[in-house]
A and B are shown apart, each in its own frame.
Chain A
């Protein structure tokens, strides 16, 4: 090595090595290797794609779901904005402006039937919110209806959709409209079409049939008048919501529909805003006369009191806790699910422990780990002798025994678990036998199912092959001469086993333990069937949140923690035992 360096320095200019065609050797090598790599990549591409799509993507989605929380901001965008200035720890309900924003946010949400989803989501954090949202959604119309009646009395045309359309339409208000269109799309969980999906739609249009027009491309046949927006901002905003919804959701024509009650409420609010009357008096567009008529009857149209309206609908809108919950969960990302997973919760003052009676997850995690360890341990104890016999029996008998070991693999998991139910239950085979033998009194039958014991027994049985097979394959490679050598050196049977044979089987035990432990930590069906309440695992809770409570965020957070625990243990195992010491075959 040193000689070579000396040589090149001695010659002065080392210069790069050249390949036969004159290109630097390094570059030709890189090119040759690149071709190989690309070919290899192409070869594994189908599998890679399959794994990515079916495995990595769902896990990534799960990780994302565990922190994702945009439903509050999407459903109540203006409310969230207004709430920012409210101090949740002040002990006072939010200001009128918040209730006002909530009214309009909730109105369109209720029309789109999205408010119940938000209610469900917030209900995970604060019970009662779900019904609060549902009942409120039904009663939002009343406020506007009163104004509508009053206006109708002043002038018939206020009850006419076409009149409203004429009043609101004009030029220059595109920006207002588009912002409301975007809000609506967020509300129903749609984002504008990306370049990629537009490109895909072009291709799809050529070969199959065109995509439906994107929501952002649909012509609403309505442009708010900038003048009206300047004069009656809340009304134009509410009317824009109405227009967007009428076209995009119902597929109707804006001019032919009567506006929402919310538009009347907004109108009343605008009328009572300072300066509006002056603006109306100097206004000269469509509906000038009707507007002037209204300004003369202002006394009949008091400003709406949104807060009182909400409190009348449901007094829970005056509960600070509900507002705190909305505020805490208004950011687009939250650590709430994770905190929840470890029995903590967010409060306006910061992170705090959950009340005693709500702490279940840490206990479940601990129980899952503990029981998985016990199951792994009993698998080792039961599997080791079997693997040993398998490895030392003549081939024909070993094959027969192997079939017995593998038999559980060929039987449905459900059948095996149910069989254990029959075996272990109080009127079951084992109890019957014990009673018959007189070992247990008839009135005193053992409880062996629907508890930890049942889960451990059934899962040990089910996971045993995963322990036996790696142990067997390792033991098979240990020649019997080692034991003989140990004995010839003066070791007793036990010493020979313990000092010579056992250490060589540790890689097999390690492999089996990793398999069994990781499988059992995420096991679901067996604990569900035989676990009762004390024998269930964290995975049962995850399944519950996925299929019953539909709290996918919490399920995702629990799953992510489980994944983290497994990776952590794997890492620890690698540090302590060394992963190259694991032999699966």
Chain B
């Protein structure tokens, strides 16, 4: 990903490193570029450096090395209050001593906007998040979801072109969360703003974003649109982190054309698509999505390799069936099948044969 320095990018991270203590790098070699109007999500496990990246962009932390550019200007030359970046904090950071309306009017006041104009904008922003009637309340008198919306409205009210959101939905229950995800996405699209969104909830990342940057260990593991991320993970971390995933370990036997043959540790041989492997003899971890596994012989390709499997557990989940199998010594092999009339319901103890299309089975790095 060295070629992200596309000209015309709105936000650019170039070879950015960050260390808090001078001993360990929290962010290692970050390169990222996003155009105007994009909704980019930073996704990653706790402590992977997401907030740190956001803080560097907002100007509350300085990069130890590298350059961050906003609209082509190095951000080090612009003090935080002049960057015009709206930010929604992890804990909302609504000012407790001001009412909702005062909170919203604060960024307009510091911009020396007239009173009438201010009130009008505040009201419009409140209406946008459907909180028009709550202007006189204090933040402590609002529910979590309402506070969240006010925080969003406050980040948007001064018409920032770039809005950063740090796990804004972290404290909400599932239903409200889903509602707010939709709401944020809608507002972002309507206003055409650029959003950098941080979360460690992958569903949230997949449903909202134009592109997702998967973080681990201070690096971007993969930067791709949600579908690509899910269907074509670039390494085994991404494969495991995004969605449910079955892995089998083995050694590459042979690579030819777009497929390779992998011999599993138990001796079985399967077809796979080489992604991170380059030559025979390399150890690999193959990854197959549960819903891409087939046990109906008729649907398998002619001559495809199959594996013996024993059914351990069958769970009826309504729309799908979830079956746990023992495959090649792996007790946690999951398959998902759609609940359709012609689909056979498996029973524990039953012996079956499973297989898949070679392109659905990705041979990735072994760690």
Contacts and interface: CB of A to CB of B under 8 A. Distances in A.
B93 interface: yes
Contacts of A504: 95-97
Interface stretch (B36-44, B78-86, B250-258, B327-335): B78-86
B49 interface: no
A487 B86 CA distance: 10
A488 B85 contact: yes
B80 A482 contact: no
Interface stretch (A237-245, A404-412, A492-500): A492-500
B89 A484 contact: yes
A576 interface: no
A485 B110 contact: no
Contacts of B60: 484, 487
Q: How large is the interface on B (under 10, 10 to 19, 20 to 34, 35 or more residues)?
A: 20 to 34
B106 interface: yes
B80 A488 contact: yes
Contact of B107 (A479, A481, A482, A490): A490
A489 interface: yes
3 shortest interchain CB distances as A-B pairs: A489-B107, A485-B93, A488-B87
A484 B82 CA distance: 13
A489 B58 contact: no
Interface string A464-498: 00000000000000010110111111111101100
Given A484-B58, A492-B81, A499 B91 contact: no
Given A487-B80, A489-B158, A490-B81, A482 B106 contact: no
Contacts, number: 62
Interface string B198-218: 000000000000000000000
Interface string B142-176: 00000000000011001000000000000000000
Interface string B7-47: 00000000000000000000000000000000000000000
Interface in A484-541: 484-493, 495-496, 499-500, 503-504
B87 A485 contact: yes
B81 A481 contact: no
A491 B81 contact: yes
Contacts of A500: 95, 106
Contacts of A482: 93, 95
A445 B125 CA distance: 65
A489 B97 contact: no
B106 A499 contact: yes
B97 A486 contact: no
Contacts of A479: 91, 93
B179 interface: no
Interface of B: 58-60, 80-87, 89-91, 93, 95-97, 106-107, 110-111, 154-155, 158
Contacts of B87: 484-485, 488
A490 B110 contact: yes
Contacts of B110: 489-492, 495
A485 B158 CA distance: 13
Contacts of B86: 488-489
Contacts of A485: 87, 89, 93, 95
A486 B83 CA distance: 13
Interface of A: 479, 481-482, 484-493, 495-496, 499-500, 503-504
* Chain A at the B interface: SS class: helix
A112 B87 CA distance: 88
Contacts of A503: 97
Contacts of A495: 110
Contacts of B81: 487-493, 496
Given A487-B80, A488-B58, A489-B110, A481 B158 contact: no
Nearest to A506: B97
Given A485-B95, A489-B106, 7 more contacts: A481-B91, A481-B93, A486-B95, A489-B158, A490-B111, A492-B81, A503-B97
Nearest to B84: A490
A28 to B, nearest CB: 38
A557 to B, nearest CB: 43
A481 B60 CA distance: 10
Nearest to B106: A489
19 contacts: A482-B93, A484-B89, A485-B87, A486-B95, A487-B59, A487-B60, A487-B80, A488-B83, A489-B86, A489-B107, A489-B110, A489-B158, A490-B111, A492-B110, A493-B81, A500-B95, A500-B106, A504-B95, A504-B96
A228 to B, nearest CB: 88
A491 B91 contact: no
Nearest to A503: B97
A300 B275 CA distance: 146
A487 B111 CA distance: 12
B54 to A, nearest CB: 10
A528 to B, nearest CB: 42
A504 B95 CA distance: 9
Nearest to B94: A485
B106 A486 contact: yes
A492 B97 CA distance: 19
B96 to A, nearest CB: 7
